[in-house]
Amino acid sequence: MSLHPKPRNSESIRTEDPVELSSKVIDEAIAHEPTNRVTNQLSVITDDIAVIESFSHMIVFQTDDGLVSFDASGESSGLAVIDSLREWRKDQIHSLVYTHGHLDHVGGSGAIVADAEKRGYRHPTVFGHENVPHRLRRYQQTNNWNTLINRRQFGGVSPKHGMGLTSNSQLFVPEGTAWPDVVYQDEMTLSVGGLDIEFKHGKGETDDHTWAWIPSKKTLVTGDLVIWVFPNAGNPQKVQRYPLEWAASLRQMMTHGAELLLPAHGLPISGNKRINRVLGDIAEVLEKLVADTLELMNRGEQLNNIVHEVKVDKEMLELPWLQPLYDEPEFVVRNIWRMYGGWWDADPASLKPSPQRVLAEELAFLTGGVEKLVERAQVLASTGDLRLACHLIEFAAEAAPDDKTVHGARSEIYRLRRSSESSLMSKGIYAAAMRESDEIVQSEQDQ
Ligand SMILES: [Zn+2]
């Protein structure tokens, strides 16, 4: 992703060994403790494979020529992750592989390079798909936009610290981030110190994703194609995601007979049956969302109808590897529409809309004033129809943008809305709306 829910309180962790925990969670299909753990602690999975659980994880293979690391973790966790690694092994990091260019995977690379310099090692060779540098260049082009949306996305959960992605830094891509030295197109094999690692390109959360198969270890490294929450295939504030291609990568992984799966977020998985259960479940929900959405698109339905009609089975959403705590199915439906259709939602009025404020003023006039819109929004909110309540309070705020009573009501409605939602993405956006109104109420009080 750029990632997942809040940093977990390490006190709630009762099972230290992540593999033992994942076996239990998968076998019982229920989680009694956190599965996404940001502890920066290293777990030795086998003699020569270790995972440091962070945001994102660093996954390390020992070879005769030094270490191969998948991902560098984020800027704020890079140092802690390296410290944990060094308690286990002091060897040089020979190669650093980016599973994709999200900053929670590449942002810690500066700390890795600094560690190499401190120890007198050469810099690791950095590998990634050919789209990784395109992504990093795009981030530079849209620096402020990305800083803003990440603040909104992660600000709903941990307003002060977010995930280390909400820093006040002016640079979205941290200074010192190592760009790939070697890029590949469809697949490549990296051989280091007797270990062969097969890179495969697979679109999914991003267009620059690498997953890896290590035949001698019967091990898959999945990056964010497995994240132990509902797949991040719908993010409302980010570029196109690829749900069907994502599922195809998972199906391809399933053909390898893997005995160990190492994701970039969440728990490692041991045993082919468990691995294929989880991969198959994620693939199935994505394939079904695409099929159901396309079926309605083919019938000529409007986007709004499709969003309300296409659902994922409730039992699936309760599985610990599919809970909508980060992204959610409704957003994936919109991404599918955008991918196969276009930006227009098939509502003729929205093709070339009137200015939002003019529409809001007209509605306020029709209903007998902004107060009527506010009153009705409050009634709807109190009876639980928060979707409708939000429409009305937005019209009220558009029609009376400086009115502190309106913004007081708006803040309260979005507070309710935020707490009624499960996904970090919804919570973040509603919390941002709440803060926006709070600031207006506050600024008027200060005068
Ligand atoms: Zn991630």
Does any domain span residue 156?
yes
Q: Are residues 40 and 152 in the same domain?
A: yes
CATH number of the domain where residue 411 is located: 1.25.40.880
Does any domain span residue 101?
yes
CB 370 within 8 A of CB 403: yes
> Per residue in 158-183, pLDDT tens?
433 334 444 556 789 999 999 999 99
Helix, strand, or coil (residue 221)? strand
> Per residue in 113-145, pLDDT tens?
999 999 999 999 999 999 999 999 999 999 999
For the question of whether the overall pTM of this predicted structure is more than 0.85, the answer is yes
> Which pLDDT belongs to residue 447?
53
- 393: closest CA among 384, 383, 428, 408? 408
Q: Are residues 252 and 373 in the same domain?
A: no
Q: Are residues 215 and 76 in the same domain?
A: yes
CA of 221 to the centre of ligand 1 (A): 13
End position of a domain, from candidates 238, 268, 285: 285
Q: Are residues 270 and 375 in the same domain?
A: no
> Which pLDDT belongs to residue 170?
74
Percent of the chain with pLDDT over 90: 90
User: If you ran DSSP here, which 8-state letter would residue 215 be given?
Assistant: G
CA of 117 to the centre of ligand 1 (A): 27
> Which pLDDT belongs to residue 150?
84
CA of 107 to the centre of ligand 1 (A): 11
End position of a domain, from candidates 259, 285, 311: 285
DSSP string, 44-92: EEETTEEEEESSS-EEEEEETTEEEEE----TTTHHHHHHHHHHH--S-
End position of a domain, from candidates 262, 285, 308: 285
CA of 371 to the centre of ligand 1 (A): 44
CA of 313 to the centre of ligand 1 (A): 25
CATH number of the domain where residue 255 is located: 3.60.15.30
CA of 384 to the centre of ligand 1 (A): 34
Q: In terms of residue numbers, what domain contains 379? A: 354-446
User: If you ran DSSP here, which 8-state letter would residue 354 be given?
Assistant: P
Q: Are residues 236 and 374 in the same domain?
A: no
Domain count, the chain: 2
CA of 230 to the centre of ligand 1 (A): 13
- 249: closest CA among 272, 273, 275, 226? 226
CA of 289 to the centre of ligand 1 (A): 22
Does any domain span residue 349?
no
CA of 201 to the centre of ligand 1 (A): 16
CA of 229 to the centre of ligand 1 (A): 12
CA of 264 to the centre of ligand 1 (A): 6
pLDDT in tens, the chain (447 residues): 544 444 445 668 889 999 999 999 999 999 999 999 999 999 999 999 999 999 999 999 999 999 999 999 999 999 999 999 999 999 999 999 999 999 999 999 999 999 999 999 999 999 999 999 999 999 999 999 998 888 887 775 543 333 444 455 678 999 999 999 999 999 999 999 999 999 999 999 999 999 999 999 999 999 999 999 999 999 999 999 999 999 999 999 999 999 999 999 999 999 999 999 999 999 999 999 999 999 999 999 999 999 999 999 999 999 999 999 999 999 999 999 999 999 999 999 999 999 999 999 999 999 999 999 999 999 999 999 999 999 999 999 999 999 999 999 999 999 999 999 999 999 999 999 999 999 999 985 655
Q: Are residues 279 and 360 in the same domain?
A: no
CA of 231 to the centre of ligand 1 (A): 11
Q: Are residues 280 and 365 in the same domain?
A: no
Q: Are residues 136 and 249 in the same domain?
A: yes
Does any domain span residue 164?
yes
Q: Are residues 35 and 127 in the same domain?
A: yes
CA of 161 to the centre of ligand 1 (A): 17
Q: Are residues 262 and 363 in the same domain?
A: no
Q: Are residues 157 and 242 in the same domain?
A: yes
Does any domain span residue 330?
no
What is the total residue count of the chain? 447
CB 296 within 8 A of CB 309: yes
CA of 25 to the centre of ligand 1 (A): 21
> Which pLDDT belongs to residue 50?
98
Question: 9 to each of 14, 116, 155, 233, 268, how far by Cα in Å?
Answer: 11, 31, 18, 27, 19
Does any domain span residue 143?
yes
CA of 211 to the centre of ligand 1 (A): 13
Q: Are residues 274 and 368 in the same domain?
A: no
CA of 65 to the centre of ligand 1 (A): 28
Does any domain span residue 328?
no
Alpha helices (runs of H) in 171-301, residue ranges in sequence order: 243-254, 272-298
Does any domain span residue 251?
yes
CA of 326 to the centre of ligand 1 (A): 11
d(Cα 64, Cα 122) in Å, to the nearest integer?
Answer: 16
